[in-house]
A and B are shown apart, each in its own frame.
Chain A
């Protein structure tokens, strides 16, 4: 068994090399089919079902009956591959589809998301990943229980993990449903079930082992799908296929147009200059958001969990670096999407004469393609056809299309780029397949984090510690299925605005989990009473702030938006942990020795159960 695995690990480069070549070949074949007149609908079906079939195939091939394979992929995932899997785990439908759109809308201020969702990995590398890997945890609550003496800390950990992960998972399921429905032309709720099927096939039989190798495959698809349209767009607009540098030209042109036409009476009147800071968020909110997102990243259980799978502490550290490198490839491209889309809109859509129906027909076609879905609104109505647009604008007496009368859904920026650059439909299909890969891979990780917390922490550790291996694996799979079904059901019945709650996950994780995890390693004097007070206090303050400001029961403190609630919750958690620890007896001699062992890479994993299972 072990030998078979090692052959697999030794051949990873070749396997994924062939896979990448195969995927590119598949895209080329579809491009040829499109030229031969195969309808778009068929291309869409091929994209969805062939990629889903490959992910499911990997999932089924990686099935396992061993506990340590199921929970931590046998701890044999090399740093670079764990980096790719982490990148796919991390980058969600929101990163792939919505982030470039946020940058389009917010300009410089939107870069708080780019910074916040990357810098947190420095904290993961220094405070979290190496130490939890040394401990040998299967789940994040496992560590809390071992360090803070038992099941109360474990239970609080599971509770926070669940709150953080469930809404996040619902967001991914919704994203999957929306993409699948557009590609397959089926209702969104049906699309959710197609996605759910893909997720379960990937994760159920092989647990972490299967999710790891599918996430690597999904990373390859999503990064190719994100980079190719941007490269082609850059080549088309600037002649150089390097969007990440060439969008400086687009920015310069945007600034020029803003200065020329942004004044009173100009068609860009009311526009906020793209590169000027603090026009949408004030400086306090900008930096509070960066802090909350970064610290939250470092405490999200489905991210931390990925670093339990490396062969050593040394590789866990390197793996964080690789993860951020692979994430960086997408995040430093997103602002280029935003800039090219903005330039297209400022040059070819806004400022155009729309006083006659003939003139309206001259507008770029993509406006109407996405207007039909209600994603582009002009003069207050969906720009579904030239006639509809003309009528709406005549009604308002608008003769020249201007900034104030134009609005675009933020998802469109990435999705419309192939149309804007005049690329064939196959590229649009590729983008959708990438978005699907991003949503599925994140959903896999979240689902596993939640189901494992239930099967390992609640069932095995708290309910039946004598359960046999076979029984534990059956329970793990049943719970995985139930959590998936629950999340899908909630996604379908939940009101749409629930999904905005995803952003709060970061503040909740930052104030509920981060201080207990960090102080558990860095401060030997930290004891259970302190950590439990800190977790509950930080979580409580953050939740209080979010609820009170969301329902307008109180004014925001210093005007801080509730997405950055960790600005208050996290310090409260740190202070409570410190003060309560100081007021209560110091941890036992054994516990202090345990922390010392945690701090050095040498030696076996510390978790009793993991030693036996290995």
Chain B
């Protein structure tokens, strides 16, 4: 980890992962709920889909996003040899 070039590359990869995570977060926090009325026309597991997304769907997505982020970031750390021993 002494080479500065590797360090820059590490941060670029980390930042790209952050952007992906943030896009997913914005999508499930806000964007999908803009379309609640349209989604409510669809039935999912017996629920109007727009209601379902706010009551459960987005919550499940948030949990999965965090585990996805943690997994990918751990992989990046290992690749660049900056993970903990």
> What residues of chain A have their CB less than 8 Å away from a CB belonging to chain B?
108, 111, 114-115, 118-119, 121-123, 125-126, 130, 244-245, 248-249, 251-252, 275-277, 283, 286-287, 290-291, 294, 312-314, 317-318, 320-321, 324-325, 328, 331-332, 335, 596, 599-602
Contact = CB atoms under 8 A, between A and B. Distances in A.
A122 B59 CA distance: 11
Contacts of B51: 108, 111, 251, 275
B60 A122 contact: no
Contact of A252 (B14, B46, B84): B46
Contacts of A601: 77, 82-84
B69 A126 contact: yes
A537 B65 CA distance: 32
Contacts of A119: 25, 28-29, 58, 62
A121 B63 CA distance: 9
Nearest to A290: B29
A328 B21 contact: no
B34 to A, nearest CB: 8
Contacts of B50: 108, 275, 277
Contacts of A130: 73
Contacts of A324: 62-63, 66
A599 B14 contact: yes
A252 B45 CA distance: 12
20 contacts: A108-B51, A111-B54, A115-B54, A248-B45, A251-B47, A251-B48, A275-B48, A277-B36, A287-B33, A313-B84, A314-B84, A321-B63, A328-B62, A332-B55, A596-B7, A599-B14, A600-B1, A600-B77, A602-B1, A602-B85
A312 B84 contact: yes
Contacts, number: 123
Contacts of B22: 126
A410 B82 CA distance: 50
Contacts of A111: 51, 54-55
Nearest to B40: A275
B25 A122 contact: yes
Contact of B73 (A275, A312, A317, A325): A317
What is the interface residue range for chain B against chain A? Answer: 35 or more
B16 interface: no
A601 B45 CA distance: 42
Contacts of B65: 122
B40 to A, nearest CB: 7
B2 interface: no
Interface of B: 1, 7, 10-11, 14, 18, 21-22, 25, 28-30, 33-34, 36-37, 40, 45-48, 50-51, 54-56, 58-60, 62-63, 65-67, 69-70, 73-74, 77, 81-85
A303 B58 CA distance: 21
Contacts of A244: 56
Given A122-B66, A248-B47, A277 B28 contact: no
A132 to B, nearest CB: 15
Given A111-B55, A275-B51, A331-B59, A599 B25 contact: no
B59 to A, nearest CB: 5
A108 B84 CA distance: 44
B70 A321 contact: yes
A287 B30 contact: yes
A80 to B, nearest CB: 12
Contacts of B73: 130, 317
CB-CB nearest 6 A-B residue pairs: A248-B46, A317-B70, A111-B54, A321-B66, A600-B82, A602-B82
Contacts of B7: 596
A286 B37 CA distance: 14
A244 B59 CA distance: 13
Which of B25, B54, B55 counts the most chain A CB atoms within 10 A? B55
A318 B70 contact: yes
Contacts of B70: 125, 314, 317-318, 320-321
B65 to A, nearest CB: 5
B74 to A, nearest CB: 6
B35 to A, nearest CB: 10
Given A108-B36, A119-B28, A119-B62, 20 more contacts: A108-B50, A108-B51, A123-B25, A125-B70, A245-B46, A277-B40, A277-B50, A294-B29, A314-B83, A314-B84, A317-B69, A318-B70, A321-B67, A324-B62, A324-B66, A328-B62, A332-B59, A601-B83, A602-B83, A602-B84
